[in-house]
A and B are shown apart, each in its own frame.
Chain A
Amino acid sequence: MSDARALLCDTARAVFAEAETVGIAPIEEAGFGLLLVAEEQGGFGGDWGDVNAVLQIAGMAVPDLPVAELIAGETLQPAATVSLMAGAMDRALTLSIDHVNTRQQFGRPLGKFQAVQQSLAVMACEVRAVGAVAAALAARLDTAKLDAAAAGFEIAAAKLRANRAVGVVTSIAHQVHGAIGFTAEYELHRLTVPLMRWRGAHGNDDHWAQILGRQVAALGGRGLWDTMTARDA
């Protein structure tokens, strides 16, 4: 990560922490709405790699605030949602690992039980997959100069893959937390409820599967491979 982006992320963490209690105002005041605006126009001059990093932090810290809408326009909302989902899933995994390492049952931490380990490994694979599609989509959007149409294949694939991870990630996170994760006082629902909402927002599974499936059908079997390799950044 570049120094500029690391600094941006530090700022985002601090500002979002404040926003957790007081709402969107500190995020607006800090100028995150200008993240994608060019420097000569008074903006930050960031790229989608920066947006991806900031929105992942938003997905962890302030999943209910409209940070994605503040930063990106309508055509990029599906991509922005993938970044939010990657962040929220990452945080749900961290909470789950912390919980099973702390909570003792039958005389040892839950995390020492193989059944729990296997579940969390499955969850981690999904979380890694969504992190990977968010990063790959960012790379493509930056190559395509934020042209959502030019990154149509990657947006469809990434949103579809992120959507499909939601079921596994939310169910395992809640399962390993037991009843405490289902309470209003514990923070897990602050992540899992938005994840459930985001699955249907900006294109549900069927929407993107149809778009991607029809695009691939038109390419033909060999054409899929040729297209995929030709699109490498």
Chain B
Amino acid sequence: MQGFALYPFDPPGDIASLRADLRAWLAVNQPQSDVVARANCWASFDPDFSCALGAAGYVGMTLPARYGGGDRHPLERYVVIEELLAAGAPVGAHWIADRQTAPLILRYGSEEQRERYLPGIARGELYACIGLSEPGAGSDLAAVRTMARETADGWRINGQKIWTTGAHFSHIMLALVRTEEGSERNVGLSQLLIDLDTPGITIRPIIDMAGHHDFNEVFFDDALVPHGALVGEHGQGWKQVTAELGLERSGPERYLSSHALLVALIDTAGPDPAPAIATLIGELTAEMWTLRQLSMSTAAKLAAGEDPMVEASVVKELGNAFEQDMPRRVQAIVTSGWDDEDDLARLLRALLIASPSFSLRGGTREVIRGIIARGLGLR
């Protein structure tokens, strides 16, 4: 490996005033939401907030102006994202559309698709979900079986997606489907952009163990979408999807989504904490600082047009471990009871229950470690 040089995080423009402007905007516009909603804010759905954020120019920041975007640098967007997460702003509604779907449409989509979808995403009005997992596939994405057959009228889709975050409030799904009958594994797959109000699509909730409704099952029963729904090249779905996953694995959400708990721990401990609590705060701070360096460096590499697959996986692996570890270590040291109703106790309970998902979403820990091992030359 010969030393890990940090890729320089060097955004253009006046970053200090970008942060200051956004903080001032949030002070006025961020809803006074509950501390638990703030803790897992990229799952908090608030369309009013998303639209206001879009109107203020903080959604679709990197899209070209001709599609309603802000023409900003990806690292300016990065700064905005980390500020939104650190503040616990409810970004869940537009999150996936802004992070993944819009860049993918811009890169691979047709001109018609760009004009049709990007302006709504940039306004914070149009929401998207990602149709990857299926029953029997899970982390083995190449096992996708949902079939789209090309007919004279368009693509006819049959099959089922599962674990689809936000399908119940999304307008579109970017789905990985099999478009060559009888094809195997990662060959013969394509991406389709599906309007979710198409007849033949049924969305059913899956309630998670925290009682939340983020996931869904999505059924396609002879759903017909136009020829123009194909994104990018026919049969190139696998390549397009793996490029997309890099956008999902290294962002600040991989270490900042439980940030509210660290804030609550520090505020509860006060300015002169007991030694054991000072130790824990110090250790968690060192880890968070490290993750921030790794995440910024990876973002800079992505922004430079490189493909930091391994770096992104390192951020996800260490970030997930940090976020799972934090509530456990806080619980081990604070006196809050399970049923207490103060902020720290409620946050702790919510994050302990949510934490098993952290090393599942966006690729399981084992798959991520496999990607790193390949990067080390072991596979």
Give A contacts to B, CB under 8 Å: 1, 53, 56, 86-87, 90, 93-94, 97, 100-101, 111-112, 114, 116-118, 120-122, 124-125, 127-129, 131-133, 135-136, 139, 153-154, 156-158, 160-161, 164, 205-206, 208-214, 216-222, 224-225, 228-229, 232
Contact = CB atoms under 8 A, between A and B. Distances in A.
Nearest to A206: B279
Contacts of B12: none
Given A90-B1, A157-B285, A117 B273 contact: no
Contacts of B82: 229
A156 B286 contact: yes
Interface residues of B, number: 56
A138 B217 CA distance: 49
Contacts of B259: 225
A209 B1 contact: no
Interface stretch (B46-54, B223-231, B292-300): B292-300
B283 A216 contact: no
Contact of B262 (A122, A154, A206, A221): A221
Given A129-B290, A216-B281, A229-B83, 5 more contacts: A136-B289, A157-B285, A217-B269, A217-B278, A225-B86
Chain B at the A interface: SS class: helix
A210 B279 contact: yes
Interface string B274-287: 01011111110111
Nearest to B269: A217
B370 interface: yes
Contacts, number: 175
B376 A121 contact: yes
Interface in B194-237: none
Contacts of B289: 133, 136, 153-154, 157, 161, 228
A118 B282 contact: no
B138 to A, nearest CB: 17
B285 A213 contact: yes
B264 interface: yes
Contacts of A220: 266-267, 271
Given A90-B1, A136-B293, A216 B285 contact: yes
Nearest to A1: B5
A160 to B, nearest CB: 4
Chain A at the B interface: SS class: helix
Contacts of A124: 1, 314, 372, 375-376
B276 to A, nearest CB: 10
B294 A135 contact: no
6 contacts: A90-B4, A121-B370, A164-B283, A212-B282, A212-B285, A221-B264
Contact of A101 (B265, B272, B293, B377): B377
Contacts of B297: 132
B129 interface: no
A210 B271 CA distance: 13
Contact of B282 (A97, A122, A135, A211): A211
Looking at A56, A112, A228, the one whose CB has the most chain B CB atoms below 10 A away is A228
A131 B3 contact: yes
